[in-house]
Amino acid sequence: MTHDLVTALRPLLTAEASAEAYASGAEPADLEQAVWLRLLERLDAHDPPHDPQAWLRRTVRTEARRARRTVRHETPWAGDPADTAGTGGGDPELLALAAARRRVLRDAVRRLPGRCPRLLEALLSPHDPTYRDIAGELGISQGSLGPERSRCLGCLRRLLAPEVASG
């Protein structure tokens, strides 16, 4: 039954995710992955949707709203004040604070569960690997990187919250 449901819903999901992705600021593949996860959760709970097409449309819109909220609350990284000092010295206090923040971040990334440390290290690599490269290195599908990245960043936020509050 699950295989038939997936086969029947795939074209509709692709179309719906593509239609909603641009306005939500998400990648269509990330929306698709999130909806498949929601479907698996329902199937695991032995609660298959009564009207799968209507459920899928509602779920795509729900995930798109979630992505919009996430994008709205994220702020782009403006850089570190010490980074703008260049290599020509800079304010020693700013340099020491920046080094301490980087150390705290690296320590928190190392404490993350599962493959999160490797994933975040790959994403932060100065070599700027593509998602395909990262997926190959980690041995996971490229479509899983977005949801996994979100989960890992959520874990990182929870780990850093007490340290940011005390700093």
Q: What is the pLDDT of residue 77?
A: 59
In-domain check, residue 108: yes
- Residues 110 and 63 reside in one and the same domain: no
Q: What total of structural domains would you count in the chain?
A: 2
Q: What is the pLDDT of residue 90?
A: 67
- Residues 102 and 153 reside in one and the same domain: yes
- Residues 99 and 66 reside in one and the same domain: no
In-domain check, residue 162: yes
Of 39, 73, 107, which closes a domain?
A: 73
- Residues 13 and 46 reside in one and the same domain: yes
Residue type (1 letter), 156: L
pTM of the complete model? 0.48
Distance CA 119, CA 31 (A): 20
31 with 24: CB under 8 angstroms? yes
- Residues 68 and 103 reside in one and the same domain: no
Q: What is the pLDDT of residue 87?
A: 47
Q: What is the pLDDT of residue 51?
A: 95
Distance CA 145, CA 30 (A): 8
- Residues 162 and 135 reside in one and the same domain: yes
Q: What is the pLDDT of residue 131?
A: 85
In-domain check, residue 34: yes
- Residues 54 and 22 reside in one and the same domain: yes
- Residues 66 and 97 reside in one and the same domain: no
134 with 122: CB under 8 angstroms? yes
* Nearest of 96, 100, 156, 92 to residue 124 by alpha carbon: 156
Q: What is the pLDDT of residue 144?
A: 86
Distance CA 59, CA 98 (A): 42
In this structure, the number of other CB atoms found within 10 A of the CB of residue 114 comes to 11
Q: Which residue positions in the chain have pLDDT lower than 50?
A: 82, 85, 87-88
Query: Which residues form the domain of 123?
Result: 91-166
